[in-house]
């Protein structure tokens, strides 16, 4: 898997400090932090720019409110933005308080997020 291990440690530390019950899962060539068995926040490399970015599940309302925040971009795979998710590029999480902002938003939305249907 190709992702920044130091960034993963930073996210993990914030989750631990926030007393979140989480586990890590390799997904989409990156790393996802699962909270209550739901995708909460992850790290995935942009294949075009080779930058590590975070993928945050923050909900539609927060997507709209924070779309103009530094480093925030719609999460698109098929040309259409995915509901509830954003990508945040390094300029949006280099500072610890910025990374904490995105992790906190993802944790705040997590109780309202739907679990994906299990396979098998």
The pTM for the full model equals 0.91
Domains of the chain by residue range = 5-111
Separation between Cα atoms, residue 39 and residue 75, nearest integer Å:
14
The matching CATH number, chosen from 3.40.50.300, 1.10.10.2120, 3.90.1150.30, 3.90.870.20, for 5-111 is: 3.90.1150.30
Strand order in the sheet with 72-76: 22-27, 30-35, 38-45, 52-57, 81-88, 72-76
pLDDT tens for each residue of the chain, 120 residues long: 578 899 999 999 999 999 999 999 998 789 999 999 999 999 999 888 999 999 999 999 999 999 999 999 999 877 788 899 999 999 999 999 999 999 999 999 999 998 876 644
SS3 90: helix
Separation between Cα atoms, residue 54 and residue 41, nearest integer Å:
7
């Amino acid at each position: 898997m190709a992702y920044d291990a130091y960034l993963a440690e930073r996210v993990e530390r914030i989750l631990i400090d926030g007393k979140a019950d989480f586990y890590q899962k390799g997904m989409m060539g990156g790393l996802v932090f699962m909270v209550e068995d739901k995708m909460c926040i992850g790290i995935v490399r942009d294949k075009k720019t080779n930058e590590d970015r975070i993928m945050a599940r923050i909900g539609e309302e927060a997507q709209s409110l924070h779309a103009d925040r530094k480093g925030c971009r719609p999460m698109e795979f098929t040309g259409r933005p995915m509901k509830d998710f954003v990508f945040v590029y390094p300029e949006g999480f280099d500072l610890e308080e910025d990374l904490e902002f995105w992790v906190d938003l993802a944790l705040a939305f997590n109780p309202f997020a739907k679990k994906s249907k299990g396979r098998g």
